[in-house]
Structure 1
Amino acid sequence: MDSTAGTAPPRLTRLTFHGPFSEERAVRMIDRLARTEPRTILDIGCGWGEFLLRTLAATPGATGVGVDLNEEDIARGRALAAARGLDDRVTFHAESGVATTRGPADLVLCFGASHALSDTQPPGHTAAALEALRGLVNPGGRVVLGEGFWERTPTPTELAAMWPDASPDEHPSLAGLVDLAVAAGFRPEWIESAGVDEWEEFESGYRADVEEWLAHHPTHPAAEETRARVDQQRSRWLRGYRGVLGIAYLTLVPVA
């Protein structure tokens, strides 16, 4: 038996942001957003709130709220806020973002978490999320939406290798995504998308802790289940959505 049978694999310690999002992009985006001088910031599906906390640090006097269902991430966010002296300006809540009453705010963030705003199933989930975001942002404010789109139409083989029930109409194209934002009452101030390096950094970082743990604990009681799960995750990326699924970051201005 493994001598460290009680040792669980660490979780996501290699990731700064929970998504394909580089330091360079964060600096550029926060600089742009800080110029709008938001006084209130709401982050839906915030995870541990790294982008929220950095934006608060760049906008003295602003206050923030982070919402996420994962209590472990929420605890990590609170600890980060305390370590950076921001805990008097931000609160984290372990709760759903569906029909949230935490808004409206001057700046609303939603990175890869459109599903947290609505119970609507794909392909209508993006339009439903944009409608919800439109109601959460103050006049003259900004919404930053990180949302999936198809870089190209996936093949049947690629779809079969992705997550269960993946379908070609699950995501729009980038142009289609922007059209949905305009239809929801926004103008797209800035359109950008994650690059290959950001995807590889995220996908590798997402599994790095567990891959290392498996190498050191091959006979751990949890190793078999953990190995199967991580191998499946990696296969879905490499055989399924790598180079097919994109992530757009849209900075949106509500139409008056």
Structure 2
Amino acid sequence: MHGPLSGARADRMVARLARNRPATVLDIGCGWGEMTLRVLEAVPGCTGTGLDIDDEDLERGRRNASSRGLGDRMEFVRESAEHTGRGPADLVLCLGASQALTSVEPPRHTAPALAVLRKLVSPGGRVLLGEGFWQRAPTAAELSGMWPGASASDHLPLAGLVDAAAGAGFRVEWIETANEDEWEEFESGYLADAEEWLASHGGRPSAAGVRERVEGHRSAWLHYRGVLGPAYLTLIPAG
């Protein structure tokens, strides 16, 4: 998975979403579209469209879809999600990509992004939203070690995120959050290949940039570990 989401949790999510028998899936910021491909495998005849601007991820998604016999049911499109004319779809996935739906800069993007998602989902459909939230208020020292310019206003607490979804016209069917094991598997997996390379090639001049990127990422993770969490909300448009 292209985020802190275990295969077991993804399977449970897909099983719940498949019960609604979606005919169409729209995946915002799809990456290589793993969640959509799992939904298509679970719901015969369902078709999906994934939007992203990363050519490498999109090509990986196309290869995966073809190898799983889903190439004719899944379209990967290099396209910005902002002002998209696609939809409505029976199932809209937006996993860590809500910022792609609006020009409003984080952290104020959450409410307008939810308003867009409300328009993209069919009546009776579902939105699966993956969004970061503060598990507790970060300290100044923790913020200083995160991303550049990190602020306590960058994310909502979980209750605030749920309230924002309700304010956008959704009922919140399901709330779940990734656990530390999922975070650690994702973050360590992201860094592992680079660490293996550095262990053997760390003396090369080209290693300096790789080392800086890896150490910066790890430092940020260890500062937001236990503070920032990913929430997965299953949302139903209210009538």
TM-score by length of 1: 0.92
Match in the other structure for 1:100: 84
Q: Give the deviation of 1:103 after TM superposition.
A: 1.3
Q: 5+ unaligned residues in a row in structure 1: which ranges? A: 1-16
Deviations 1:70-128 (A, max 9, x none): 11000000000000010000100112111111211000000011111111112211111
Which letter does structure 1 place at the counterpart of 2:112? A
Relative contact order, higher structure (CA 8 A, sep 6+): 1
93-102 or 58-67: bigger deviation: 93-102
Q: Aligned partners of 1:52 and 1:149: how far apart in 2?
A: 24
The answer to whether the aligner puts 1:247 opposite 2:230 as a matched pair is yes
Q: Give the deviation of 1:221 after TM superposition.
A: 3.9
Match in the other structure for 1:3: none
Q: Give the deviation of 1:253 after TM superposition.
A: 0.1
Q: Aligned partners of 1:221 and 1:88: how far apart in 2?
A: 45
Deviations 1:107-165 (A, max 9, x none): 00000111111111122111111011001000000000000110000000111101111
SS in 1 for 2:136: coil
Q: How many residues align?
A: 239
Q: Percent identity?
A: 63
Match in the other structure for 2:118: 134
The answer to whether the aligner puts 1:37 opposite 2:48 as a matched pair is no
216-225 or 140-149: bigger deviation: 216-225
Runs ≥4 in structure 1, deviation > 6 angstroms? none
Matches within 5 A, 1:66-215: 66-215=50-199
RMSD, matched Cα:
0.8
SS in 2 for 1:169: helix
Q: Aligned partners of 1:221 and 1:89: how far apart in 2?
A: 46
Q: Aligned partners of 2:27 and 2:205: how far apart in 1?
A: 37
